[in-house]
Structure 1
C-alpha cells in the first residue's frame, strides 16, 4: 500500500507549481498561437505549390519533385500531413511555456523534430530557436542549459545525414543552435550583473537609511539630555527660591524680593538656553545660533545661582582649557551634581573640586547630609546620572556616583584630554 504524501510536501509542490504558472506571459502565448497558425498554414499549403517548403532537416530517400529554382515540395498523404501538423503544434505552442519550463520546452521541441519524416519548416525552426534562447536565459543554470543543448545538437546531427543550412558534416545544427544559445547566455549574464548592481544599490540605500536613523536617534538622545540638564537644574533652583521667598515674605520682605529676583534671572537663563537648544532643531529668523553653549567659563555664574537658592557651595579648581564638547560635558557634570544636591540635601554644604592629573580632568562634587529637619525638595528619577555617564562615555570618560560613608552624596567624573592642550583659565 502506497504511503500518502505528507501535506507539507503537497503544499510545497503547489507553491512551486503556482510560481511556475505565474511566469507564463500573455505575449508568449500570443507568439505561440501566431507561430502555430503560420506553421499549420505552411504545412497544409506547402504541397500545393502555394508556399515553398524550407526544411530544417533534409532526409535522403524521400521522394520529392522540383517546382522551381530553390523550391522543393514534398509528396505526402493525408496521414503524413496530419502527423506534421501535430508535431508543428507541439513545437510552436510550447513557446507559451518557455519561461516556466525552459528546459522541458526545448527537450519537447527537439523530440518533435526527431519525429518528423520530411523535415521541419521555417516557422517551426523559429519556434525551436526561441526555445533554445529561452533555455539559456531562463534555465536553472547556464552550465546545465549549455550541456542539454550540446547533447540535443549532437543527437540531431547523428540522427540525420543532411541538415539545413548546408554545412560540412555535423556543423549545420550547431551553426543554428550555438549562436542563439550564446546570445541567451550573454543576456542572462547581463541581467544577473544588472540585478546584482541593483541589489548593491538597495543595500547601500538601506545602509544609508539605517545610518540616518541612528544619527537621528543619537541626536534626539543628546537633545533629551540637554533639555533634562537645563530644565531640571533651573526648575529646582526656582522651586527652592520660591519656597524660601514664601517663608520670609511677611517677616523679611527684602529677602523675599531677592529670591524673586533670583527666580526671574534663573527663568530668563532657562529660556535663553532652551531657545538656543530648540533653535538648532527649527531655527527661526530671530534665533542666535552663534551663541555658544555653556562651559566651565560660566561655572561662577552657575555657583552663584545655586548659592542664591540657599545652598552653600565652595569651589576649588585648577585652570584648564578644554575642547568645546569636553568643556560642555564638564559643565553638565557640575550642573547635574548641584541639581541633585539642591533636590535631596537643600542647605547642605557642597564642595566642587576640579583638578588635572597628567592628562585627565577630575571633577568631584560632594555634599554633606541635609540639615536636620530639612526635607528633600523633590525626588528624581535617576536619568540625569545615566545621561551624564553616556555623555562621558562619548569622550572616553567615566562616572562614579553614590552615597558617602560619612553621609551625603558624591559625584566623581574623569575625562581624558589632549596632553598638548594649554593650561589656563577655563
Structure 2
C-alpha cells in the first residue's frame, strides 16, 4: 500500500529527542542518566571534603607563635572508583538490567562499611528499580532482588554503626513495587499503542482498496461512454448535412452517454470526498479519474491467483454494496447510483456499441443459470472493456462476443478481426484497462488472457469459477 502522506514526513527535532530518550543502551537516554548520575556523585563526594579531625597545632617560628591547621582531606580513591563504576553502569540499565544490578551490588559488597557513600547506594537503588521494571519475568526479577537483599542485610547487620536490615528491606521493597507498577503500565500502554497503529493501518488499507475499486469503476464507465460519445459525435458531424435524422439520433446518443457519465462521476467523486472526511475531490478523486483512458497492450496472461473472495470491495458482491462499505445511500452523497450492471444488460451494451459503428455478434448459448452478482459484474466489465478497445483499435471490425456457462465456470471471449479497411485505429494506450480486468478476474480466482490473434485482430479471454449453488 502506498504510505500515507504523514508517514513520509521527516521526524521533527522534538520527535528525534523523544526517540533518543526512549532508546535503551549506551547510545540512548540511559547514557544521559549515567552521565548526570556520575557528575552528581563526584560533586557529592568532593563537595563534602573535610579537614582532618586532628586538633590545631601551635608552634613558634622565629620566636613568634604560628597556628598549623590540619590538611584538607578528600574522599577515598577506592570509594570514588566504585561510585563511578555504579553510576556509569546505569548506561546499560535497560539493555542488561540484571548485569548492571550485579555490578552495583558487587561494588557495595566489596567496599568498606565506612566508605559506603550516598551515590553508591542511590545507584544501587536505581538498578534495583530497573530490574523490577524491565525484566519481563516477575519471578526472575524477584529472585535477583531477593538475593541482593539477603547480601545487603548480611553486609549491614543491625547495629549502631550500620543501616539496620529493616531499612534495606524497605528500600528494596519500594523499588520492587515501583518498578513492577511502572513496568506493567508501560506494557499495557505499548499494547494499546500497537492496537491503535494496527487499526489505523487497517483503516488506510480499507480506504486504499475502496479507492482502487472506484478507480476501476471510473475506468470502466468513463472509458466506454466517452469512446461511444466520440464516435457518435464524429458520425453526426459526417451526416449532419446529408441525413439530419441520423445526425440527430447520434447526438441524442451522445447526450445520453454524457448524462450517464456525469452522474457516475459526480457520485463517485462524492464518495471519495466523504472518505477524505470532507477533504474534497481534488485530493482523493483526481488520481483515479486520471486513469480513465482506454488501453490495449500487446499480450497479457495470468493463471489463478488467490483473491479476497466474496464480499471484497473490488468484487462488487453483496457485503460491500455498489458504493463501498460504509457509504450512505440516497441523497446524502448526491443522486443514487444505478444498479450494478449484470449479464442481463449485455444486449443493451451491444446495441450501443453497434450504434457507434462496430459489427458485434453476441452469443450466449443456452443462457445462464443463477450466478453470483460479483461474477456477473466482472463478466460484464470484461465484455465492456473489450468492446471499448475494439471501438478504438479495430474500428468497423466484426467482433464476436461469446459467453459459455459450463458447470463450475463462466467463460468469456471477445475477439475482433482488426481495423476495417480504410479505418484508422487510435494510438495504443498504457494497458491500464486490461490490467484492471485481470485484477477483477483474479479476485474470483479466475484466469485472464489477452493478445493478438494469429489470423489478425485481438482476443480477450476470461474464465471465472462459479461456486456450486
TM over 0.5: yes
TM-score w.r.t. the length of structure 2 is: 0.62
Matches within 5 A, 1:293-304: 293-304=340-351
Equivalent position of 2:32 in the other structure: 22
Instruction: Classify 1:324/1:226 alpha carbon distance in 2 versus 1 (closer, same or farther; 3 Å).
Output: same
- Confirm or deny that 1:307 pairs with 2:354: yes
Per the alignment, do residues 387 and 278 of structure 1 end up closer, same or farther by CA in structure 2, a change over 3 Å counting?
same
Q: What residue is the counterpart of 2:417 in the other structure?
A: 368
Tell me, in whole angstroms, the C-alpha distance in 2 between the residues paired with 1:247 and 1:364.
33
Residue ranges of structure 2 left out of the alignment (5+ in a row): 1-24, 53-68, 93-99, 136-140, 275-330
Q: 2:209 aligns with which of 206, 213, 218?
A: 218
TM superposition shift of 1:308: 0.8
Q: 2: CA distance between counterparts of 1:127 and 1:178?
A: 19
Task: Name 1:177's counterpart in structure 2.
Answer: 168
- 1:384 is aligned to 433
Pick the aligned partner of 2:393 from 338, 344, 359.
Answer: 344
Query: Match for 2:465 among 399, 416, 419?
Result: 416
Could you tell me how far apart the structure 1 residues matched to 2:333 and 2:113 are? Answer: 87
Query: Who is 1:74 aligned against?
Result: none
Q: Which residue, out of 127, 131, 142, partners 1:135?
A: 127
**Alpha-carbon distance in 2 for matches of 1:330, 1:145:** 70
Q: Does the 8 Å contact 1:351/1:365 carry over to 2?
A: yes
Native 8 Å contact 1:312 1:350 kept in 2 = yes
Where 2:445 maps in the other structure, the secondary structure is coil
Distance 1:315 1:410 in 2: 15
Deviation at 1:280, TM superposition (A): 2.7
- After TM superposition, the structure 1 = structure 2 runs for residues 19-418 of structure 1, keeping only pairs within 5 Å, are 19-20=29-30, 22-23=32-33, 103=101, 114-115=113-114, 130-138=122-130, 142=141, 147=147, 150-154=150-154, 156=155, 163-164=158-159, 173-282=164-273, 285=332, 287-289=334-336, 291-317=338-364, 318-418=367-467
Greater mean deviation of Cα atoms: 367-376 or 386-395: 367-376
Taking a change above 3 Å as real, the CA distance of residues 106 and 392 of structure 1, as seen in their structure-2 partners, is same
What is the rounded CA distance, in whole Å, between the counterparts of 1:270 and 1:296 in structure 2?
Answer: 20
SS of the residue corresponding to residue 16 of structure 1 reads: coil
CA contact (8 A) 2:409 2:463 kept: yes
* C-alpha separation in 1, matches of 2:211 and 2:436: 12
User: Hey, what's the Cα distance between the residues in 2 that align with 1:19 and 1:285?
Assistant: 52
Write the deviation string for residues 336-389 of structure 1: whole angstroms up to 9, x where unpaired.
Answer: 011011011111111222221002111211122322111114532211010000
User: How many angstroms apart in 1 are the aligned matches of 2:465 and 2:447?
Assistant: 9
Conserved? CA contact 1:24–1:99, under 8 Å = yes
Distance 1:36 1:387, change over 3 A: same
What is the TM-score normalised by the length of structure 1? 0.68
What is the number of equivalent residue pairs in this alignment?
354
CA RMSD for the aligned pairs?
A: 4.2
Name the CA shift for 1:173/1:266 in 2 (closer, same or farther; >3 Å): same
SS in 2 for 1:280: helix
Please, which runs of 5 or more residues in structure 1 have no aligned partner?
1-14, 45-77, 421-426
Given the superposition, is the C-alpha separation of residues 416 and 136 from structure 1 closer, same or farther in structure 2, using an over 3 Å criterion? Answer: same
User: In structure 2, do the counterparts of structure 1 residues 151 and 17 end up closer, same or farther at CA, with 3 Å as the change threshold?
Assistant: farther
Distance 1:85 1:382, change over 3 A: closer
Aligned equivalent of 1:61: none
Q: 2:288 aligns to what?
A: none
**Contact 1:98–1:134 (CA<8 Å) still a contact in 2?**
no
Deviations 1:29-57 (A, max 9, x none): 999999999x999xx9xxxxxxxxxxxxx
Q: CA deviation at 1:127?
A: 7.6
Judged with a 3 Å threshold, the aligned counterparts in structure 2 of structure 1 residues 22 and 110 are, in CA distance, closer, same or farther, namely: same
> In structure 2, the residue corresponding to 1:23 is in which secondary structure?
helix
Q: Which has the larger radius of gyration?
A: 1
